[in-house]
Chains A and B, each alone.
Chain A
């Protein structure tokens, strides 16, 4: 039976360049001299390092523990020695560094102890924790921790589990090859996910330019005897592999920006994620490697099973980079990111190392003014009007850009792809988004500062009032006492004169008592700053304080508080 498919607006059909890298099977990669494993490889908190430099680690040993619920663990990709834990350049266009574990492989590639889990007999919460500790994240590129998505939602059951094997980006074939070679194991991962989500049906969406993958997955489904799982060929049109676009194509549901797909009874995972879930549950192997396509300006484009942390140029060397190579792009030509160096590590998000050259990806012709032809709007899969967003972004009129739904933009690049004026539209939208975020952060910081300031004023006012009340009470008490004493003296001496100096004395005593109290408070406050420091530092601080007091006190005779 043919399934009714839906269509999404827009999209483009760039040349796919997928044939060259699917000629040969997935190849292993020899161990590199060292692995640089960034601790922060997923959306969410940065994992804490669990190892020390100089420590020996086994393959699959956890080296970074998930930091809270929105985070995912990181593991040693091979056995060896932890050389260092240092900030290293991460595979991101910015060229910023991130704390990374540097491992020198010992060549034995020896696994540590592996925990397997029977998913059918394990409570869901435990399963989720297991997957978090196995470092399972979305391998489609978003690297969102998968355990958080494996909750069925409010109803306790999900209508449709969508598995994304569309792989719409040109050049990339890692999902294609995975499905061709490992469809059976991938299906086991899908079955486990279906169990966790209590999904009624599973739809595996694959672009129809991958007939072999579709056949392999269909054969695996038939062999498994499972019902309610279907491999669906969808029309090849970029970006059909965008999660929202794929959900739309398969189910007709449009998940709006900022909403969870589970609210609509759908959840979506990449085929690579399904396979790594199989490895984690049934083999006990955490996510330490992934399939990476090497394509572009190379002699032999191919897919490799690459250990996380392997330097990119180590992998590219196997395919033979051609002359003229001027950059690596992580991902495809539509949404990929230019790498800041050739030796940045392969991470969980690396689906493709696209080797670029000026001949392959020539610089665009000069940018012309927008002629409002609307080609971008025709191509936009989010039904936006990019030329309007561009107009307002260019004028830095960010509020207006937001009114035209700037944040619904998925940065797929279709608008830039079709623009006859060669305007880098997506760059303008990225710029606007980051400006808006920066302003929001600034505003939050300013709000926090204002709140702090207002609270400080309020506190000072309150303290003043309390002090005044206290003083008044004390003064009243003293006056009463003095009055009583004075009355006693007066009755004793028979005159009122001595009562005056006595009241002055009382006032002076009060003032001195207050100043003493202030000094003590100050000392306490000063001490609080150094509370957290360790004993050695505290001793040092004490010594400095003593020196300062010694040097400050002799020349002036005033009390220490006046100098502050």
Chain B
């Protein structure tokens, strides 16, 4: 190096990404424990597809392959895709989604650090629009054995409705809608009573709540390692909790509890691993709060009033669009220009 500083902290993009991957492990372990090994197959598929897509694009773009493949950023994207797609999605769905994320959303925009949208969430949105049925089939915890899962991933035939149900989020939404219908047998039942079925656990979906706890533990570790800051997880959870809590308090028979919303679906994954993607997220302290709070509110709205099983992906993309504006408008005053 020619100019100062001549010393550096031993930090690298690779080590940041590696720590994110490590932090995902508790969640993945819980996932495999409750829902079977299908998720591990999906992770392997997505990882291979991501590395292949990244390598091909780096070759075409004339970028150093070893340097960028070893930064592990493509693998983080791959794991997030595997964790957000259904674990029994056919292999080509996962592979196509991953290639979309890495090749189009990331590399075509300039590669590492240049993508305005979260690649995993963009892929999720594209695939759920293109294959709404396949993207909405989730097995219940312990419902399918390894053999069946592998058949579903690699086999052709799918007797879908016979073996899979909706996600707990979906199930509750459907139940709540019928509870609101005077003609229904469930009329007048509250969310807490509706959550009595086999799909539900203590606060969220059965099994799923433990996966969420795994993500929470990994996320807290990332916080402690200073890979992420508290702003995004805190603001996202607070906003989701507040909106859900408000509607639940106003009309407990029509809406699920705020805790259910935090423990279900991709809330924890979104709070600690998806929205915290630095490239596509807001960067200022106040900006992060706005960005994540917006995502929290949108997630709730899409979950409760929309038609998709979860709202994290769309909420993330919508907030990604707002990032340049948020960042520009939330620059903190610099040294000597503060008002206090």
Contact = CB atoms under 8 A, between A and B. Distances in A.
Interface of A: 8-9, 12, 14-15, 93, 170, 244, 248, 254-257, 259, 329, 331, 333-338, 354, 356, 361, 363-366, 368-375, 377, 381-385, 387-388, 404-405, 408, 413, 416-422, 424, 426-427, 430
Given A12-B9, A244-B335, A254-B336, A372 B279 contact: yes
A422 B12 contact: yes
Given A385-B331, A404-B331, A368 B13 contact: yes
A484 B69 CA distance: 104
Nearest to A329: B6
Contacts of A418: 8-9, 11
Interface in B296-340: 327, 331-338
> Which 8 interchain pairs have the tightest Cβ spacing?
A256-B336, A413-B5, A369-B113, A361-B6, A420-B11, A382-B335, A254-B336, A333-B6
B4 A383 contact: no
B160 interface: no
Given A371-B13, A372-B283, A336 B6 contact: yes
B193 interface: no
Contacts of B278: 371-374
Contact of B9 (A335, A385, A417): A417
Given A335-B5, A413-B5, A385 B335 contact: no
Contacts of B9: 12, 14, 417-418
B4 A364 contact: no
A511 B113 CA distance: 78
Nearest to A430: B3
B69 to A, nearest CB: 12
Given A370-B113, A377-B283, A385-B284, A256 B4 contact: no
B338 A254 contact: yes
A387 B338 CA distance: 21
Nearest to A171: B7
A209 to B, nearest CB: 17
Nearest to A255: B336
A334 B338 contact: no
A334 B3 CA distance: 9
Which of B6, B15, B229, B338 lies at the interface centre, i.e. has the most chain A CB atoms within 10 A of its CB?
B6
Contacts of A387: 283
Contacts of B336: 244, 254-257, 259, 408
Given A369-B111, A374-B278, A419 B334 contact: no
A419 B112 contact: no
B1 interface: yes
| Interface SS of chain A | loop
Contacts of B6: 329, 333-334, 336, 354, 356, 361
B47 to A, nearest CB: 20
Given A170-B7, A361-B1, A424-B3, 13 more contacts: A9-B335, A254-B336, A256-B335, A259-B336, A329-B4, A334-B7, A335-B5, A337-B3, A368-B112, A385-B331, A388-B283, A417-B5, A420-B13
29 contacts: A12-B9, A248-B335, A254-B335, A331-B4, A335-B4, A336-B6, A356-B6, A361-B1, A368-B67, A369-B112, A369-B114, A371-B279, A372-B278, A377-B284, A382-B334, A383-B333, A384-B335, A385-B283, A388-B283, A408-B334, A417-B5, A417-B7, A417-B8, A419-B11, A421-B13, A424-B3, A426-B3, A426-B4, A427-B3
A364 B8 contact: yes
A141 B125 CA distance: 56
Contacts of B64: 366
- Interface-centre pick from A14, A369, A426 (highest chain B CB count, 10 A): A369
B60 to A, nearest CB: 17
B16 A364 contact: no
Contact of A334 (B5, B11, B12, B229): B5
A244 B9 CA distance: 24
Contacts of B1: 361, 363-364, 424
Interface string B7-50: 11101110110000000000000000000000000000000000
